Amino acid sequence: MSPFSPDLASRRRALRTVGLLSGIAAGAWLGAAEAPAKLVSTGLSPVTVSLVMVWGVFLARWSVPALLQGTSAVGADVRHAPHLVVWAILAGSLWSIANTLTVHAIRDVGLSIAFPLWNSNSLLGILWGALFFGELRGATGGQRTRVIGGTIAMCIGATLLALASTHEAVHGSAAARGVIAALGAGALWGTMYIPYRKAYLTGMSPLAFVTFFTVGELLCMGIIALAINGATATANELAAARGIIFWLMLGGFIWVIGDLFQQYAAKYVGISRGIPLSNTNQLWGLLWGTLVFGELRRSDVSLTLVVVGSVIMAIGAAAVALATTGDTEHDRWRDAAEHEARRYGVDLDWVRARLVGTAPSPPRRNWIDWTLVAISTAVFVFVAGIAEAPALAMDLRWVVLLCIVTVALLLAAGTVLWRTTRFN
């Protein structure tokens, strides 16, 4: 479809629906990713926990794109815009340092303080979106108010939820360290959206972007583990904890599905709307914690605070979702995209077509793709074989129900994405 055909307006509306659905599915999957990690109370260092999660992430990021579009589509994207590989590796490095910082922050100040601090990343995302990519420019006052007000409401709701659902005491001298770690994670994650948006304005498919993103993740995480813990200590920790590797890697895998939807949301509704929507992951994390693991059955938990926090967060998310992207704002995005294309010498027609989610040919799978999928599956089967059954009590009825809802969201968002963009 030509990006300049008369039905451009209806195409933009369809892409907005794709972006919003992707943001909602992202929240559910990013929230579900916390569940496997809850199954293991580890004595592992934060760096090693993060390293094992990144292994799962790495396998998922190579096998899922191979399965959905094939590595030939990834190769075609790279040939059109090779500079984006640098951006993807940079984004992966930002993610891995932020992820390790959050593990430190939770350990030092508890989730109640750490989560709202790093959740502020959505505000930073809005700032970068407006400053560098023309987001919210051309938007009406009401649309701006809905995005910014909704995001602030979500931060307030997140704070209330975190206060209600955790009750860790802050350990004196570690407090400042934990707060700085959480703020650092927020700044890194908020800034990570610059490379995201950059890639999508230039037309790259999210599936191609994450394939290189994960190279940055794995490299950066490997360097961190070796520099901070050393090779021997890391190997010893991993050998002693082999029974829980599967659960951490599974968490990483589920996280990737959520992150892929987050990437599509960033592409089709921009980072100022996509990121706040996917930050509803805290609501889903709370549902898993409450219904499956019975975390709120303690007497000192304020149910009122949980309900009020959830309602404020949901209202905030709805406000952001309803702040539709107008044609003027879409035109500003297109200007930013054309600026990128000229700067990096990328074919302007290709950029325009990819911006509205179209591609010249349907994806084809080859033997490399099936090999990647087979290797990932084999690794997961192997670590599952040596995994220890979790000792934590779970309500299996809720596990089944939440899994059904989460998978239903995957199918709904995935189907709309496929029909509208063929995963471009």
Partner 1 sequence: MPSRLRPVFTDIQFWVPVAVLLVGALILFWVSR
Residues that bind partner 1 (CB under 8 A): 46-47, 82-83, 86-87, 90-91, 93-94, 97-98, 100-101, 104, 108, 128, 132, 177-178, 180-181, 184-185, 187-188, 191-192, 194-195, 198, 224, 227-228, 343-345
Instruction: Specify the residue, 104 or 267, whose C-beta has the smaller distance to partner 1.
Output: 104
The Cα–Cα gap between 101 and 8 comes to 43
Instruction: Specify the residue, 221 or 372, whose C-beta has the smaller distance to partner 1.
Output: 221
**List of residues 6+ apart from 48 with CB closer than 8 A:** 225, 229, 234, 237, 238, 241
Minimum CB–partner distance for residue 45 and partner 1 (Å) = 8
Minimum CB–partner distance for residue 353 and partner 1 (Å) = 20
Instruction: Specify the residue, 24 or 84, whose C-beta has the smaller distance to partner 1.
Output: 84
Instruction: Specify the residue, 35 or 346, whose C-beta has the smaller distance to partner 1.
Output: 346
Do 150 and 319 form a contact (C-beta atoms < 8 A)?
Answer: yes
CA–CA distances in Å: residue 110 to residues 175, 190, 296, 308: 9, 21, 16, 21
Taking Cα atoms as reference points, which of 243, 107, 111, 222 lies closest to residue 166? 111
Tokens 């860790």 map to which residue? 168
Instruction: Specify the residue, 104 or 354, whose C-beta has the smaller distance to partner 1.
Output: 104
Minimum CB–partner distance for residue 325 and partner 1 (Å) = 21
Taking Cα atoms as reference points, which of 344, 229, 260, 203 lies closest to residue 57? 260
Instruction: Specify the residue, 170 or 375, whose C-beta has the smaller distance to partner 1.
Output: 170
Taking Cα atoms as reference points, which of 396, 412, 323, 353 lies closest to residue 35? 396
Minimum CB–partner distance for residue 341 and partner 1 (Å) = 11
Question: Can you list the alpha helix ranges (DSSP code H) found in 6-82?
Answer: 8-32, 34-38, 46-68, 71-80
Minimum CB–partner distance for residue 35 and partner 1 (Å) = 26
The Cα–Cα gap between 182 and 218 comes to 21
Q: In b/e form, how buried is each residue of 345-366, taking b as 16+ CB within 10 angstroms?
A: ebeeebbbbbbbbbbeeebebe
Instruction: Specify the residue, 225 or 319, whose C-beta has the smaller distance to partner 1.
Output: 225
Minimum CB–partner distance for residue 340 and partner 1 (Å) = 9
The Cα–Cα gap between 107 and 321 comes to 33
Minimum CB–partner distance for residue 258 and partner 1 (Å) = 22
Instruction: Specify the residue, 147 or 181, whose C-beta has the smaller distance to partner 1.
Output: 181
Minimum CB–partner distance for residue 151 and partner 1 (Å) = 20
Pull the structure tokens for residue 209. 């972007």
Minimum CB–partner distance for residue 105 and partner 1 (Å) = 8
- DSSP result, 57-72: HHHHHHHHHHHHT-HH
Instruction: Specify the residue, 170 or 399, whose C-beta has the smaller distance to partner 1.
Output: 170
The Cα–Cα gap between 232 and 317 comes to 46
